[in-house]
């Protein structure tokens, strides 16, 4: 199905199933512990051996020698795979560093060996016996130190430019009556998902099957085949349940490759789960940023000049953290400049983490807007409203398909009681607590991606949907079932959804807030094709209706059971609507915090998100997505930071004890409001996405609330009490 014209009325608009709050279909499996995750396919293969991955003990240099003698003699050891005996390996384009290092070492904890043994304990004990001698080289581990040497990035890594310019920013900024020039920093952050990177691999002759935790099954097949140098047809990837990914499982990682190599070496299935330190230092992370914001405005609050420049670091060949991307689109202003500079760092690979670009970028931009509002003597909500736009600011001839940011801000302000807020900071006190409120806009683009699915009618009167789409805890099983039920006119309980298997049609996968809209559109396309087959076999015309498990037309009604065995495969392909219209999602975050006047402790007391994201397919799971993202935003604002040892080049706090994330006690009740809207330009579903919108702007809303409570402006995230204490008002 080609989608190249705005959607008109279609079966999804009936709203019998789509758009209704629906409990997760996979919920009972998750809550009873019976959903089989990658490490738990106990009945799928013969008794597997266990692999334990050895990570490099240096950040840059080479392995001078590796003595495996003692390890090979250890009890239960079956094999040890290193770069010397792994055979020729390729490198997939989505991996910046080699997944199996040696003799050259690119970063700390790069995998250099995997020990395979009968039990986990045996493999771990033997791995400790490997004697590795290194030759270290000087490395670059400090972004601030490398900032002067960071060149302009050629691209943003996602097909966009590393720099954009419109008008004459320098002149307009210099002439602006009100100016802001401020620098903000965000730290390296880890995905910290509950389920570790894990894989079970098994060979049958030349064919390889891996059960793994991966968000993008199609990418995994392609990259694993390329790395191993085998045909794609010989690789099967299965990933039906994923215990969190947040972008950390978008790409092929060491556990998958090493499990495959180990299984081939011992001629039996092998399972591997990365330990927590390896997850933080061996896999990917969100890179730290330094961001400079310059905003010039007239005294009426209208922005005339805006510039957003960022510095981030990565391994050679890596991409920048795209922090300025939202500034290209969010606010009006005739004279504009954005630029990304990329330093070479010898830290572990930086890559996608939930809302890459916008999440850290809006942590800076939305504080800058707050600071600008104060300079102008304007309410922060009003400043944002005055600089709203219905067209792409860099390409004014290109309108937004839908843009209801102003409505999100106004409705949020009303529901949150914003009009009761004092414009001056540090005015409200409740006992020992200083209380303040903050606001930030939310923004994230809608991305159109091809996605395919298969729909068939089985012999038990059910609709079966098959696609390699994944469910990373987001509710894919449910919304795909809702789509099929709505399109074919059957109750939800008569739909079975099978996901996460490369034997199924290739979907868009889970990532970048693109999963729900595109995957549902692919299922819709397959179901519409199946409708055509049923109508044709029933001898009915194109105006046949599908209601209550029947196909009806011409005064006749036939049960769908009568068409068992019919199947259709189709997908969604997009024309140029995403080029003719800017497709984005919008929102507003409102936060209230209390800060202990004596200790600087910050407690979040109230949170509200108002979202405009097209049709909401399932309000229940969409709300869960947003409150989860809001929680991550609180973590980014107040506690999350990977601390770099700038002498040895590794993340020191590489476990869940040292890397702090919010827990239930840190998070208050969260309110989420979805505007009632559809976007016919986005897809046949008229939906977009909310999975990443919910994190965009939250950190800044928290930071702005902390400032409003205390009068202390912190521009260096996270906002820890040591940064607040020196500036807190006297308590005497």
Q: Give the Cα separation of 63 and 82 in Å (integer).
A: 11
Q: Is 692 a catalytic site residue?
A: yes
- The single residue listed with the structure tokens 């001078």 is 64
Q: Say which of 222, 486, 640, 692 is annotated catalytic.
A: 692
Cα 159 to Cα 139: distance, rounded to the nearest angstrom:
29
Q: What phi and psi, each to the nearest 5 degrees, are found at residue 199?
A: -150, 140
Strand partners, 584: 445
Distance CA 107, CA 280 (A): 12
The Cα 413–Cα 407 span in angstroms is: 10
533: which 2 tokens?
Answer: 């087959």
For 279-342, give the secondary structure using H, E and C: HHHHCCEECCEEEEEEEEECCCCCEEEEEEEEEEEECCCCCCCCCCHHHHCCCCCCEEEEEEEE
Distance CA 522, CA 454 (A): 9
Comparing CA positions, the residue from 297, 273, 270 lying closest to residue 283 is: 273
Phi and psi at 364, nearest 5°, equal -90, -50
Supply the DSSP symbol for 664: G
Cα 471 from Cα 469, distance rounded (Å): 7
Q: How far apart are CA 698 and CA 36, in angstroms?
A: 33
Distance CA 664, CA 39 (A): 27
The rounded distance, in Å, linking the Cα atoms of 100 and 257 is: 8
Integer-rounded Cα Rg, in Å, for the chain is 27
Q: Identify which of 545, 467, 479, 547 has the alpha carbon closest to the alpha carbon of residue 506.
A: 467
Q: Residue 604's CB: how many other CB atoms inside 10 A?
A: 25
Strand 207-212 relative to strand 235-238: parallel, antiparallel, unpaired? parallel
Q: What is residue 5's DSSP assignment? A: S
Query: Whole-angstrom Cα distance, residue 657 to residue 635?
Result: 14
Dihedral of the alpha carbons of 392, 395, 397, 398, in degrees to the nearest 10 = -50
Helix (H, G, I), strand (E, B) or coil at 478: helix
According to DSSP, residue 66 is labeled: E
Map residue 544 onto helix, strand or coil.
Answer: coil
Between CA 722 and CA 727, with CA 726 as vertex, the angle to 5 degrees is: 115
- Separation between Cα atoms, residue 169 and residue 296, nearest integer Å: 9
Copy the structure tokens of residue 509.
């996968």
186, exposed or middle or buried, with CB in 10 Å at 0-12, 13-18, 19+?
buried
| 3 vs 575: CA distance, rounded Å | 6
Q: Are the C-beta atoms of 213 and 38 separated by less than 8 Å?
A: yes
Q: Cα separation of 706 and 717, whole Å?
A: 12
Tell me which DSSP letter residue 643 carries.
P
- Contact assessment for residue 224 and residue 260, using Cβ atoms and an 8 Å cutoff: yes
DSSP reduced 3-state for 409: helix
DSSP labels, 196-238: PPEEEEEEETTEEEEEE--S-HHHHHHHHHHHHT--GGGEEEE
- Collapsed DSSP state (helix, strand, coil) of residue 665: helix
- Burial of residue 601 (CB within 10 Å: 0-12, 13-18, 19+) is middle
Tokens 């196909």 locate to: 551
Please give the positions annotated as active site: 692
């Amino acid at each position: 199905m080609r989608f190249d014209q705005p959607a008109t009325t279609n079966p999804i608009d009936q709203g019998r199933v789509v758009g209704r709050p629906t409990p997760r279909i996979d919920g009972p499996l998750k809550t009873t512990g019976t959903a089989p995750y990658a490490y738990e396919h106990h009945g799928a293969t013969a008794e597997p051996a266990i692999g334990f991955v050895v990570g490099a003990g240096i950040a840059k240099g080479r392995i001078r020698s590796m003595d495996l003698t003692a390890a090979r003699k250890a009890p239960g050891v079956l094999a040890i795979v290193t770069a010397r005996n792994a055979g020729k390996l390729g490198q997939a384009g989505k991996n910046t560093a080699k997944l199996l290092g040696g003799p050259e070492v690119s970063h700390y904890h790069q995998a250099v060996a995997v020990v395979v043994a009968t039990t986990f304990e045996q493999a771990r004990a033997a791995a400790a016996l490997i004697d590795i001698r290194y030759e270290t080289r000087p490395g670059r581990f400090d972004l601030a130190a490398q900032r002067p040497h960071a060149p302009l990035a050629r691209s943003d890594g996602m097909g966009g430019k590393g720099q954009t310019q419109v008008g004459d920013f320098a002149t307009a900024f210099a002439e602006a009556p009100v100016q802001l020039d401020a620098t903000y920093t965000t730290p390296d952050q880890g995905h910290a998902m509950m389920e570790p990177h894990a894989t079970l691999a098994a060979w049958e002759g030349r064919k390889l099957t891996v059960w793994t935790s991966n968000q993008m099954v199609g990418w995994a097949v392609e990259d694993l085949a390329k790395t191993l140098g085998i045909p794609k047809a010989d690789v099967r990837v299965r990933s039906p349940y994923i215990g969190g990914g947040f972008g950390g499982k978008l790409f092929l990682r060491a556990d998958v490759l090493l499990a495959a190599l180990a299984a081939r070496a011992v001629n039996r299935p092998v399972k591997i789960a990365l330990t927590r330190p390896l997850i933080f230092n061996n896999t990917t992370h969100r890179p730290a940023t330094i961001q400079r914001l310059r905003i010039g405005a007239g005294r009426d609050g209208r922005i005339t000049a805006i510039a957003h420049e960022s510095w981030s670091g990565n391994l050679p060949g890596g991409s920048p953290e795209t922090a300025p991307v939202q500034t290209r689109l969010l606010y009006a202003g005739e004279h504009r400049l954005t630029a990304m500079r990329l330093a070479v760092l010898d830290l572990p690979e930086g890559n996608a983490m939930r809302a890459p670009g916008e999440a850290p970028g809006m942590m800076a931009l939305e504080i800058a807007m707050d600071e600008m509002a104060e300079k102008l003597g304007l309410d922060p909500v009003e400043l944002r409203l005055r600089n709203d736009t219905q067209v792409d600011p860099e390409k004014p001839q290109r309108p937004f398909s839908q843009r209801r940011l102003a409505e999100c801000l106004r409705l949020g302000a009303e529901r949150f009681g914003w009009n009761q807020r004092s414009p001056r900071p540090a005015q409200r006190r409740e006992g020992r607590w200083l209380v303040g409120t903050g606001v930030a806009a939310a923004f994230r683009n809608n991305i159109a991606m091809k996605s395919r699915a298969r729909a068939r009618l089985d012999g038990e009167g059910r609709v079966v949907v098959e696609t390699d789409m994944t469910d990373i805890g987001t509710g894919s099983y449910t919304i795909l079932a809702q789509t099929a039920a709505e399109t074919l006119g059957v109750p939800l309980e008569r739909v079975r959804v099978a996901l996460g298997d490369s034997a199924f049609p290739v979907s868009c996968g889970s990532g970048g807030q693109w999963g729900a809209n595109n995957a549902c559109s692919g299922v819709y396309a397959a179901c519409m094709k199946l409708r055509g087959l049923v109508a044709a076999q029933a001898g009915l015309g194109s105006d046949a209706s599908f209601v209550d498990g029947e196909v009806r037309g011409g005064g006749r009604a036939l049960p769908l059971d009568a068409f068992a065995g019919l199947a259709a495969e189709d997908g969604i392909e997009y024309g140029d609507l995403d080029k003719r219209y800017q497709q984005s999602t919008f929102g507003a975050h409102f936060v209230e915090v209390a800060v202990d006047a004596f200790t600087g402790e910050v407690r979040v007391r109230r949170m509200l998100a108002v979202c405009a994201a097209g049709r909401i397919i399932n309000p229940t799971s969409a709300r869960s997505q947003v409150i989860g993202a809001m929680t991550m935003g609180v973590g980014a604002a107040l506690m999350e930071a990977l601390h770099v040892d700038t002498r040895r080049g590794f993340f020191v706090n590489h476990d869940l004890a040292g890397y702090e994330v919010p827990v239930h006690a840190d998070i208050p009740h969260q309110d989420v409001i979805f505007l009632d809207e559809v976007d016919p330009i986005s897809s046949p579903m008229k939906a977009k996405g909310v999975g990443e919108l919910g994190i965009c702007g939250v950190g800044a809303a928290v930071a702005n609330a902390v400032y409003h409570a205390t009068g202390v402006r912190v521009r260096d995230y996270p906002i820890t009490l040591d940064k607040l204490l020196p500036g807190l008002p006297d308590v005497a």
